[in-house]
Structure 1
């Protein structure tokens, strides 16, 4: 039976606020914060922009600098602002932790993550270009969000509960333990989930379940995903697609960004939940 307040089911807005409060309360008990930890590398935003529009090394038969393979420009799928495309199951990269984005490229290049589009692109990038494109998208903090998905309220409640406390009976830990109290991630390794499209989050959980995605320490995500039901997957994905972190300006030196100089994570403002 789902839990409701006295007087009957609350409105969708009230329910989401309650769900966020539950997540924040669980995280506060855990004592974790979503502060950014230093990352021992620097990247250049303008060089990263060149990679995003498709200019990078290793893109021609002889390895000289040129234009990337057809369809290999990051912006053609992820957009210049990193907004992504929920309908095409393309993730939002804007404001994501640069160390996480860098590792994702390394995993695609090594085959730990399997994707017919991303693997050849990642393999064509140099080490420096991976770092540059990572800090470029990390610095794109102004990308708009899609409208939250229309979702059954009981499913949303279920996702909020899993995010906050998981399921002891099935050995599923709460998402907040690694992804932070407001879904903004715990830097440098754990990604932001707040505002990520439900279609992408679902696809990644299913990739973990099927063994198509590797690379996390001790295979924690794979173990958790394999203990989740289809309803669990849909619920958690819908919940995180429905909440928003507060946005912040990136603090950057002219033309250059250090990964630990990116904006800190903020708790969500309940009044702004569901807005772009």
Structure 2
């Protein structure tokens, strides 16, 4: 599993908690290479990023085991707690790890989710119920899945701070804001800070307001606080500096990510994977 993890630098001697980035339906560099990886590095934050062998199309219960290994290894190497950041179902992997591996909450300082279907997404439910064959993870993120019921059956594990950031214009995780609401977390919709902000499911990975909220969560005890974000962000650059610098490259990255999600789903099964015995009851 260690081969799935790559880090921006050594973890020893850090003065800030390292951040574990978990993607969805893509490799780590595809999701974060034009934005969070260079931006966090420029801001002095060491990151490690996961790339799963099935690119997130397989059983999310198996995917979570990679997060378990990564969190344990990063905490041991750094001597610090680890901050978790995930996009879409990448964040579900981290929460599943926190939920069902009792040693992990004490090793994690922050949990931040971007455009994540904690309440399930109606789009996946409609697709899978019509075609009757979907990738395993599509079934699991669909509204009403057994996976999500097990994940949210109890209050959030004590220890980390929890933040869920969503956009009202998410075309993949629907309906918003209900789909991304995480009970017990600080739930923030971008348009509650900047009305009309034109950010959707994929561009949230480049959005500057989202990045400022992430950095706020990383830099303060507790979850992100919108009150600490200057309203000047609403009239400033739409994208974080690294993504703005990447320009066309960032746009191509977002388009490529979206294309992969929509058309590259060959690992289809006829029903949702069985819930692991440790998560039942």
TM category (shorter chain) comes to under 0.3
TM-score by length of 2: 0.27
Q: Which has the higher contact order (CA 8 A, sep 6+)?
A: 1
Name which one, 1 or 2, has greater alpha-carbon Rg: 1
TM-score by length of 1: 0.27
Larger % of strand: which?
2
